[in-house]
Structure 1
Amino acid sequence: MKQIENIFSKTKPQKEPTCPNPKTPIIIDKREQQSLITANLTEQKANIQHELLQIGDYLINDTIIERKTYQDFTSSITDKRLFNQLKEMKKYRTQYLIIEGFDFSYKSRLHPNAIRGAILSIAKQIPIIYTEDETDTAKFLITIAKRQEKEPQEFSIRQTKSNLTPEEQKQFILEGFPGIGPTTAKTLLKEFGSLKNIFNATEEQLKNIDKGKKIFALLD
């Protein structure tokens, strides 16, 4: 007689399938190296490095990631610190804000609607990732690193200022303008040949360049 499965019986949760660890290094800010996230990444044998990051908490290629616990997130809204940090993160090609342990029941000086408004404002600029805890955050970091191995990356040279070639120095200067990343900077240099030609370009000459109108407005 065929046995009927008891759908009400308690079963152990299935383990997540294991995947090869990414070779792409996850650079962790030195101030975060004692965190549980670092311990989780180490346990999962991720390729991690520790450096003093001026911006963000984690750097994966040209992707910068800022992590906030929900408590820290609400505090940083009050003192405007978060918005300054997010502005600096725009220097990198891709940015993420991780909000860890999101919980509206946490007692904050801010009204929940004020927090919702801040989240909407941030989401227009930078993607937000919500994680449950340190373990979940570590898994997201590994996922980002794995995904980047499958996709070609354009790297910003603003991460390292020393030993730049003359061409890289020009790219470095261009990447300092808001909204100009490595791809646009290289396109401009290829099209115009020099910084002087770029700065003297007319709106008509820039129209075929991605973000050309915005660039012209910045240089005008």
Structure 2
Amino acid sequence: MKGKKLFDIFAKKNAREKVKIIPTIIADYREKNSLVSSELVGLGLQVSFRELKIGDFAVKDVILERKTVGDFISSMKNGRLVKQLENLQKYKKKILMIEGIDEQELYTENYYENKEGMHPNSVRGFLLSVILKYNIPIIFTKDYKDTAKFISILSKRTEKEASLNVTRKSFNKKEQMQFIIEGFPGIGPKTAKKLLEEFKTIKGIINTPTKELEKLIGKKAEIFRIVDDKY
């Protein structure tokens, strides 16, 4: 046994590969001079600028449409936002971010005081449509720094998901056989390898009388009686 490699199949199966993935935020070129982009860089994220036909930021497969409170109201009035929401339907994962709720009221009960002249119930109704009709979640942020922090956390979440989905190398035939034998309770990689080296095949192990197996692996052999038990 000395010098021979033992395949610890279960350790291999459960080990999480540490893959270094550098989060890259794709930002529309019109966001190049925005405070959000500057803040993202300050948070240590890599920002790449290009033309995005839909949305303002892309984090992996998530598209974000960012609106300041003022832009949200004006684009709601002129119908531009409806078109943008329809375009977002092309993506499975999308988010509408409304920025600046600490700096500007989204609506006021006395809508005549609102420069945009939007009745508060119109705004409420539109927000409900975004969620219920277009199935787009809404995130309200306090300011540009808050927006950047949300995007930063989103990038880390997608990075973590990517690391969990790393494709593992397929088991070879010997590893597969050992994996099956290790499936019996109490049978570890060392015992499984000892059995396979002695009896050569899985069938050979199963067909060997328990007393013979006990000579090799002791009381652990009792577990193989289960192959004759009825369900």
TM more than 0.5: yes
For the pair 1:131 / 2:141, whether they are aligned, the reply is yes
In structure 2, the residue corresponding to 1:59 is in which secondary structure?
strand
| Alpha-carbon distance, 1:37 to partner | 0.4
| Alpha-carbon distance, 1:123 to partner | 1.4
| Alpha-carbon distance, 1:152 to partner | 4.5
- Name the CA distance, whole Å, in 2 between partners of 1:57 and 1:82: 13
Structure 2 counterpart of 1:29: 28
Q: How does 1:18-57 map to 2 (within 5 A)?
A: 23-57=22-56
- Name the CA distance, whole Å, in 1 between partners of 2:92 and 2:23: 16
Deviation digits for residues 100-143 of structure 1 (CA, Å, limit 9, x no counterpart):
11223454211011000000110122000000000000000011
The one-letter code sitting in structure 1 at the alignment partner of 2:136 is I
Match of 1:110 among 88, 101, 118: 118
The one-letter code sitting in structure 1 at the alignment partner of 2:140 is Y
In structure 2, the residue corresponding to 1:54 is in which secondary structure?
coil
In structure 1, the residue corresponding to 2:139 is in which secondary structure?
strand
Q: Please, what TM-score do these two structures have when normalized by structure 1?
A: 0.57
Q: How many residues align?
A: 132
For the pair 1:79 / 2:93, whether they are aligned, the reply is no
- Name the CA distance, whole Å, in 2 between partners of 1:87 and 1:76: 14
- Name the CA distance, whole Å, in 1 between partners of 2:74 and 2:85: 15
In structure 1, the residue corresponding to 2:22 is in which secondary structure?
coil
In structure 2, the residue corresponding to 1:65 is in which secondary structure?
strand
| Alpha-carbon distance, 1:93 to partner | 2.2
| Alpha-carbon distance, 1:149 to partner | 1.4
The one-letter code sitting in structure 2 at the alignment partner of 1:110 is M
In structure 2, the residue corresponding to 1:151 is in which secondary structure?
helix
- Name the CA distance, whole Å, in 2 between partners of 1:147 and 1:78: 34
Deviation digits for residues 164-185 of structure 1 (CA, Å, limit 9, x no counterpart):
xxxxxxxxxxxxxxxxxxxxxx
- Name the CA distance, whole Å, in 2 between partners of 1:134 and 1:59: 17
What is the CA RMSD across the aligned residues, in angstroms? Answer: 1.6
Misfit runs of 4+, over 6 Å = none
Q: Please, what TM-score do these two structures have when normalized by structure 2?
A: 0.54
| Alpha-carbon distance, 1:28 to partner | 0.6
In structure 1, the residue corresponding to 2:54 is in which secondary structure?
coil
| Alpha-carbon distance, 1:69 to partner | 0.5
| Alpha-carbon distance, 1:92 to partner | 1.6
For the pair 1:69 / 2:68, whether they are aligned, the reply is yes
Q: How does 1:88-167 map to 2 (within 5 A)?
A: 88-102=87-101, 103=105, 104-105=107-108, 107-124=115-132, 125-152=135-162
In structure 2, the residue corresponding to 1:95 is in which secondary structure?
strand
In structure 2, the residue corresponding to 1:119 is in which secondary structure?
helix
Deviation digits for residues 51-106 of structure 1 (CA, Å, limit 9, x no counterpart):
11111000111110000001110111111111110111121220000001122345
- Name the CA distance, whole Å, in 2 between partners of 1:136 and 1:39: 13
- Name the CA distance, whole Å, in 1 between partners of 2:89 and 2:137: 12
In our comparison, the structure showing a higher alpha carbon Rg is: 2
- Name the CA distance, whole Å, in 1 between partners of 2:153 and 2:36: 14
Deviates more, 1:143-152 or 1:32-41: 143-152
